[in-house]
A and B are shown apart, each in its own frame.
Chain A
Amino acid sequence: NAGVTQTPKFRVLKTGQSMTLLCAQDMNHEYMYWYRQDPGMGLRLIHYSVGEGTTAKGEVPDGYNVSRLKKQNFLLGLESAAPSQTSVYFCATRQNYGYTFGSGTRLTVV
């Protein structure tokens, strides 16, 4: 039982490149979330999904897109990376009041 798995764990991108972060869960939770964490800013919600095939914007959605084609996977895409997107990205799932976080993806955009 892996819980929430994020891949990759680390990545360095050049400005303008694109990439996709994968979040996979094996807990059959309906709700999934993408957060970014920056020093002194806490965790801010980027996008979320309330079920397969659904997505919605969070607090800081600009520059990101998401997809939830399968219930167990939630993808976060950066179409044209910018240095401002350098951050640590966390995926989370929720069942009732219980949230489970992945271990994060550290992304650096140079």
Chain B
Amino acid sequence: QQQVKQSPQSLIVQKGGISIINCAYENTAFDYFPWYQQFPGKGPALLIAIRPDVSEKKEGRFTISFNKSAKQFSLHIMDSQPGDSATYFCAASRGNNQAGTALIFGKGTTLSVSS
């Protein structure tokens, strides 16, 4: 049972365009939804994260939209740049104070921004 489903698997966007990656989750106990960016040969790095008490969070060109009732969240990259070309993972976890809390990842989206 895949707890976090991510789409699309790959995405090609023109420079200056908007990149949109979607994720859906099943466990309503999840209360932390981060997005990670990974470049080849590197570990995942936190890009932006949201808690379910807000519907949107923006940091620079990156925005998370969160729909609690639909159990979906998405990453929007505005004015996409070639340097944004990377693999993006959504993730979810529950209960900061619960022992054993671990991030559950989506399968990833490979973004290519063409110049």
Shortest distance between the CB of B1 and any CB in chain A (Å): 11
Q: Is B9 positioned at the interface, with any CB of A under 8 Å from its CB? A: yes
B103 contacts the other chain (Cβ, under 8 Å)? yes
Pairwise interchain contact A42-B99, C-beta atoms closer than 8 A:
no
CB contact under 8 A between A99 and B103, given known A42-B89, A43-B89, A104-B43: yes
* A-facing residues in B65-115 (Cβ within 8 Å): 89, 93, 96, 99-108
Size bin of chain B's contact surface? 20 to 34
Report B62 CB to chain A, min CB distance, Å.
Answer: 17
A101:B45 contact, CB within 8 angstroms: yes
CA distance A40 to B107 in the complex (A): 6
Q: Tell me if B52 counts as interface (CB < 8 A to partner A).
A: no
Contact check, B102 vs A45: say whether CB atoms are below 8 A apart.
Answer: yes
Do B100 and A50 touch (CB < 8 A)? yes
Interface centre among A42, A45, A99, A103 (most CB of B within 10 A): A42
Tally chain A residues at the interface, Cβ within 8 Å: 25
B15 to chain A, nearest CB (A): 26
Is the C-beta of A29 less than 8 angstroms from some C-beta in chain B?
no
Q: Which of A13-21, A65-73, A90-98 contacts B (4 or more CB under 8 A)?
A: A90-98
Q: Which residues of B contact A92 (CB under 8 A)?
A: 103
Is A102 interfacial (CB-CB < 8 Å)? yes
What are 22 A-B contacts with C-beta separation under 8 Å?
A4-B43, A31-B101, A43-B105, A44-B105, A45-B103, A48-B100, A48-B102, A90-B43, A90-B44, A94-B101, A97-B34, A97-B49, A97-B93, A97-B96, A98-B46, A99-B34, A99-B46, A101-B45, A102-B43, A103-B42, A103-B43, A104-B43
Which A positions have Cβ atoms within 8 angstroms of B?
A: 4, 31, 33, 35, 40-45, 48, 50, 56, 58, 90, 92, 94, 96-99, 101-104
